[in-house]
Amino acid sequence: MGTIKLHNKHFKKYISAKKIKIAIDKMASLVAKDCKDEVPIFIGILNGSFMFAADFVRAYNGNCEMSFVKLASYSGTDSTGNVKQLVGLNENLEGRTVIILEDIIDTGTTLEEIYNIFRHQKLKQLKIATLFFKPDVFRKELHIDYIGLSIPDKFIVGYGLDYNGLGRNLADIYQLTTHKMTNIVLFGPPGAGKGTQADVLKDKYNLVHISTGDVFRYNIKNQTDLGKLAKSFMDKGDLVPDEVTIDMLKAEVEKNPDANGFIFDGFPRTESQAKALDAFLEEKGQSINGMVALEVAEDLLVARLLKRGETSGRSDDQDESKIRNRFNEYETKTSILKNYYADQNKYFGVDGVGNIEEITERLSSVFDTL
Ligand code: AMP
């Protein structure tokens, strides 16, 4: 899954486990080269470095020792209040090459404490290896010997790093999502002009347009399993079953992890689709901003669809009884969604009769407020 929720915050995938492995393998071979015949003692700083340390030593080709310490705060009696000490260091380090394994170095405060503590240990040498480094926020004049990946100042979790205790077990690195998407349901009966308008509005507002009808038609054309399944329903003008449609919609959204938002065209069409969409977006810390509906009388639409059927090649546009069935599906299953969104103050009706530009103008004046 592309996004996860930890406590009340949402995170999206940022650095893959594969990329992390490549960085660690590179570090391990660099360190091994520098150590030559020396047997270094690696010291991982808990808790965050446990995964990194395990994978690092696995990739390290040569003899080495491995230990872990924890930096713990205790309230000192001196005026600085907060003094750090090391817990868990039992080895005699005199004369040894010590290489600290840190999961991440940002401001450098922890690193400075480590330097201060190890300064008194009569080491042969002290080296620092960090998997992640945030150069933009590093404030110290301290040397870092090995860096896995330099990253911008983003809050990250996973691969040992946590957000309030959670997320350490994730194999990939995730970053906090901060941007709010604009998600609009473009609504209206068949033939209302949703596809035509979505095409214009997606560029104007830099949104991704997802038309479930188009996705089904694409699958039919390519004779996929999904297409074969959808075809029997579509040919009659029936709705494709919710389970199929909802999963397909989710997959389409997941294909666009960096979208500013979506124009949903032809989805949701049933109340259970609307609820599934809400739940799915909520998992991502997102929501529907509004349903914008093109309102056009049915009689006008039948004529429009028959006309479109002359050129579109769509079998469901060519036969009046199929068209009537689509309206029936709309009236019985879909039009109730107006209330679903109106109850949340998210329904915006727009007159869908007129030329394309006029209608785009009307829709834009609603989009601008969302
Ligand atoms: P459209 O291009 O939006 O008019 O959709 C054409 C056909 O695709 C519909 O008549 C349905 O058979 C199927 N379809 C499209 N979207 C959905 C949906 N959200 N739920 C169920 N069936 C759908």
Asked if the model's pLDDT at residue 163 lies above 70, the reply is: yes
Rounded average pLDDT over 5-18: 90
Residues at the binding site for ATP are 191-196, 308, 354
Report whether pLDDT(77) > 50: no
pLDDT in tens, 298-323: 888 988 888 888 888 888 888 888 88
pLDDT tens by residue, 225-279: 999 999 999 998 899 999 999 999 999 999 998 899 999 999 999 999 999 999 9
Beta strands in the chain (DSSP E): 3-6, 9-15, 41-46, 65-75, 82-87, 97-105, 125-133, 146-150, 156-157, 173-176, 182-187, 208-211, 261-265, 290-295, 347-351
Q: Indicate whether 164 pLDDT > 50.
A: yes
Least confident span in 160-169, 311-320, 338-347 = 311-320
Catalytic residue among 127, 194, 202, 322: 194
> Predicted confidence band at 216 (pLDDT cuts at 50, 70, 90)?
very high
pLDDT of residue 116: 87
pLDDT of 115 higher than 70? yes
> Do 296 and 193 form a contact (C-beta atoms < 8 A)?
yes
Rounding to the nearest 10 degrees, give the CA dihedral for residues 356, 357, 359, 363: 130
Give the whole-angstrom CA distance, residue 270 versus residue 331: 11
Confidence grade of residue 76 (pLDDT, cut at 50, 70, 90) = very low
Residues 321-342: what's their mean pLDDT? 91
21 and 128 Cβ atoms separated by less than 8 Å: no
Shortest CA distance to 292 belongs to which of 246, 251, 341, 233?
A: 341
Residue 71 pLDDT class (50, 70, 90 cuts)? confident
- For residue 227, the one-letter residue type is G
φ and ψ at residue 64, rounded to 5 degrees: -160, 165
Res. 180: pLDDT tops 70: yes
Other beta carbons less than 10 A from residue 219's beta carbon = 18
Q: Establish whether the linkage from the previous residue to 268 is cis, with ω within 30° of 0.
A: yes
Kindly state the percentage of the chain with pLDDT values over 70: 96
Mean pLDDT check: name the lowest of 26-35, 127-136, 176-185, 289-298.
176-185
Beta sheet of 156-157, edge-to-edge order: 3-6, 9-15, 173-176, 156-157
Average pLDDT over residues 97-119: 92
Give Cα separations from 332 to 265, 310, 325 (angstroms).
Answer: 18, 27, 10
Write out the two tokens for 166: 């959670």
Q: Which residues are annotated as a binding site for AMP?
A: 212, 217, 238-240, 266-269, 273, 314, 326
Could you tell me if residue 261 is left (phi over 0), alpha (psi between -120 and 50 degrees) or otherwise beta?
left
Q: Mean per-residue pLDDT for 93-111?
A: 94
Percent with pLDDT over 90 in the chain:
72
Query: What is the pLDDT at residue 211?
Result: 96
pLDDT at 333 over 70: yes
- Tell me if 177 CB under 6 Å of ligand 1: no
164 contacts: CB under 8 Å, gap ≥ 6: 6, 7
Confidence of residue 82 (pLDDT cuts 50, 70, 90): low
The confidence band for 348, taking pLDDT boundaries of 50, 70 and 90, is: very high
DSSP-H helix ranges across 222-283: 225-236, 242-254, 271-283
Residue 308 known to be catalytic: yes
Residue 326 alpha carbon, nearest atom of ligand 1? 10
Average pLDDT, the chain: 91
Tell me the three state secondary structure of residue 211.
Answer: strand
In the set 127, 284, 322, 326, the catalytic residue is: 326
pLDDT above 80 for 295:
yes
Query: Is any atom of ligand 1 closer than 6 Å to the C-beta of 187?
Result: no
- Atom number, ligand 1, closest to the C-alpha of residue 265: 3
Distance 265 CA to ligand 1 centre (A): 9
In 3-state terms the chain splits into helix, strand, coil percentages (rounded to 5) of 40, 25, 35
Tell me what the mean pLDDT of segment 288-305 comes to.
Answer: 91
Distance 313 CA to ligand 1 centre (A): 16
Of 103, 96, 126, the C-alpha closest to 114 is 126
Cα 303 from Cα 54, distance rounded (Å): 68
CA distance 110 to 97: 20
Both structure tokens of 55: 């994978």
Measured between its terminal Cα atoms, the distance across the chain in Å is: 28
- Whole-number pLDDT of residue 284: 84
Per-residue pLDDT, 8: 79
